Chains A and B, each alone.
Chain A
């Protein structure tokens, strides 16, 4: 018995020593500079595998639909690493910062872009000899450009520095407004939206009004942003001064909260899927929803109110806008196969691929030619409204500090909608803490 134990112990020890001597699986490699623009496309090289870090969920269905075609055409392969939102961001950011080059292509939410491009972690597409295709919706190209083509720029960025493309937009997510056309008319503006909601909602009878996406953090910030911007409010002015506690933002939050008693129970902790469900189960009058849910509206297996929901832009206040949330495809500077990766990005964002993605998976496109495709519009009848919304959309502030700003704002919005603080007090405190973050990050001299 002693011999067995000894042998086992020694084996374990030996295997650990061997393991320690072996090269680590994801050994950091020096940041590889992408090759000069290639005349010969990677499609002709074949036999390579690119690692694609992507979001797990319906947002990826469009790309999944076209991957087999690219693999067949080029002889290359895509190794798909699917991760939930928080894990994807965490792994991608860690990989970029370490320069490990674990991924060749990254599917990124557009608010991550300032952090990724602003810190120099991405490959500019000019290195591949690429120039912007005018078929893309301009606002979608804007979110892939660094420094940002308009609005305030991060400290140290020259005002006249020309923006470069560091990604291409694949998924044209933009907040849309859903309303029950059998129970209310299209609101002509936000006051009309509030008036109709208050008049038609009757929680006692199970008819709820506007569905807040009220969970703390990103959900409530995302939902409130559309209101705030439509009221003419904002988080920063053009000099990064925090203005989120200004009168327009406070009014927006006050009105937003005034609809909460009519919202489905628990809306103060709802996330996107619960908002979609509250509309599709027929219990609520209206909501801000991401287009990924659009294809479920007329699917009787998923919607109890098939044919009764209309999709339009969020009603106008001082201006008509909602939040852009495009998913873009970028290539890390340390990517091991940048040329093949670029070939894949170009293919996945091409008009043909976006047509297939829209047709098979209902993926919202970022190209005008696809949004205006009359054949696709028969099935995706919301495309004209989506194109308008995309064109008028507002982006989240282009700063690498956005995660911290969003967390602070999300905490105090949550306190306001649960009546722990008044709208003014909540936004004052948020403004104070956001200012501290921006000061520490060197935004004010």
Chain B
């Protein structure tokens, strides 16, 4: 009796007789499911650290919640109180002015530095590294260093001013100068960030339009206005957006430099809400203040994004 089994070897794609070992379960994840699994850790982390506190803050803002104890639902009571709270609106005004001035100056200096240090210079790498040093310091350290430097009696700033024949200034103890001081410190601290982003943007611009413009005899100012700025616009908007959001939330430096004074001339909104939540333990009210601040920041961000989207179109 002859065997009915053919002698020819099985074709590679013929699996009718070959039973493949089962794949581990994770190898079987494909398509959308794989995407969800890969995203899960990040989403869980985000949910735990950002989304839950945010939702909890919104929840708490509808309660009289003082000293960590929930004392009853009051609906929009906290928001109504905020409408009549002059200190809150003053702190929003202060932070808005601070943001406008600081971000404008940081952008101007950052762009200038980026343009300058994108040229071929001797030791260019060293200069670039030095410029970003302030950004690496923590805001608390920056505050302490500048508090000493701005000390009218023993600080180096007044010493230098007097060497130059200029009058000494009481930086942190006069209303307008205190505001100027926190702007100076923020500009010193964060211009490097603006510089870094704009430099990256500049270096990624296409070369051809610039070469063509030069061949056509365009002057540097013309090239800057007609080519550099428009091509750099998306990068500029991203940098402005990040710095605007950061400035609206400023806390550490103001806390150390002026504590919000003199009077309440430098009391930014974060400082006011911190005081409300952790000195007066009126957490429900502070949460309501934070929600309004968050909405305002979102509106500003959306405006930026809208401009950015239009630019890209």
Q: Which residues of A are in contact with B by a Cβ distance under 8 Å?
A: 3, 5-6, 9-10, 12-13, 16, 89-90, 93-94, 97-98, 119, 214-217, 264-269, 274, 277-278, 281, 283, 403-404, 407, 411-412, 414-415, 417-418, 420
Contact = CB atoms under 8 A, between A and B. Distances in A.
B260 A216 contact: yes
Contact of B173 (A89, A214, A217, A278): A214
A93 to B, nearest CB: 6
Given A269-B258, A414-B261, 7 more contacts: A3-B26, A16-B41, A90-B278, A93-B278, A94-B68, A268-B170, A269-B173
Nearest 7 CB-CB pairs, A to B? A216-B261, A265-B152, A268-B173, A266-B152, A269-B173, A415-B263, A97-B67
Nearest to B169: A265
20 contacts: A5-B38, A13-B41, A89-B279, A90-B279, A94-B278, A98-B68, A215-B261, A216-B260, A216-B261, A216-B263, A264-B152, A265-B168, A266-B153, A266-B173, A268-B174, A269-B170, A269-B178, A407-B275, A414-B263, A417-B262
Interface string B250-263: 00000000111111
Nearest to B39: A9
Contacts of B301: none
Measured as residues with beta carbon below 8 angstroms from the partner, the interface class of chain B is 35 or more
Contacts of B69: 97
A18 B165 CA distance: 66
B171 A10 contact: no
A16 B260 contact: no
Contacts of A403: 279-280
Contacts of B67: 93, 97, 119
Contacts of A278: 153
A268 B263 CA distance: 10
A277 B155 CA distance: 13
A233 B262 CA distance: 24
A6 B37 contact: yes
A215 B259 contact: yes
B225 interface: no
Contact of B262 (A10, A89, A216, A404): A216
A3 B27 CA distance: 8
B311 interface: no
Kindly name the residue among A9, A266, A268, A411 whose own CB sees the greatest number of chain B CB atoms within 10 A.
A266
B264 interface: yes
Contact of B37 (A9, A274, A283, A415): A9
A277 B151 CA distance: 12
B40 to A, nearest CB: 6
B83 to A, nearest CB: 16
A10 B34 CA distance: 12
Contacts of A418: 173-175, 262-263
Nearest to B48: A16
A148 B172 CA distance: 39
Contacts of B44: 13, 16
Kindly name the residue among A89, A216, A269, A420 whose own CB sees the greatest number of chain B CB atoms within 10 A.
A269
Contacts of B40: 9, 13
Given A97-B69, A98-B68, A215-B259, A265 B37 contact: no
B123 interface: no
B5 interface: no
A264 B172 CA distance: 13
B45 interface: yes
B88 interface: no
Contact of A266 (B172, B260, B275): B172
Nearest to B40: A13
A169 to B, nearest CB: 24
A420 B179 CA distance: 15
Given A13-B41, A97-B69, A98-B68, A6 B26 contact: yes
A407 B260 CA distance: 11
Interface in B149-169: 151-154, 158, 168
A411 B263 CA distance: 5
Contact of A269 (B154, B168, B262): B262
Nearest to B37: A9
A403 to B, nearest CB: 5
Contacts of B171: 266
Nearest to A208: B153
Interface in B167-193: 168, 170-175, 178
A265 B153 contact: yes
B197 to A, nearest CB: 29
B179 to A, nearest CB: 12
Nearest to B262: A418
B304 interface: no
A216 B27 CA distance: 63
A286 to B, nearest CB: 17
B175 A269 contact: no
B109 interface: no
B26 A97 contact: no
Contacts of A90: 278-279
B281 interface: yes
Contacts of A281: 154
Interface in B27-79: 27, 29, 37-38, 40-41, 44-45, 48, 67-69
A148 to B, nearest CB: 21
A217 B67 CA distance: 21
Contacts of A266: 151-153, 170-173
A265 B263 contact: no
Given A97-B69, A266-B171, A12 B264 contact: no
Contacts of B68: 94, 97-98
B259 A217 contact: yes
B48 to A, nearest CB: 8
B217 to A, nearest CB: 52
Nearest to A264: B153
Contacts of A13: 40-41, 44
A97 B262 contact: no
Given A6-B37, A9-B40, A420-B175, A269 B261 contact: yes
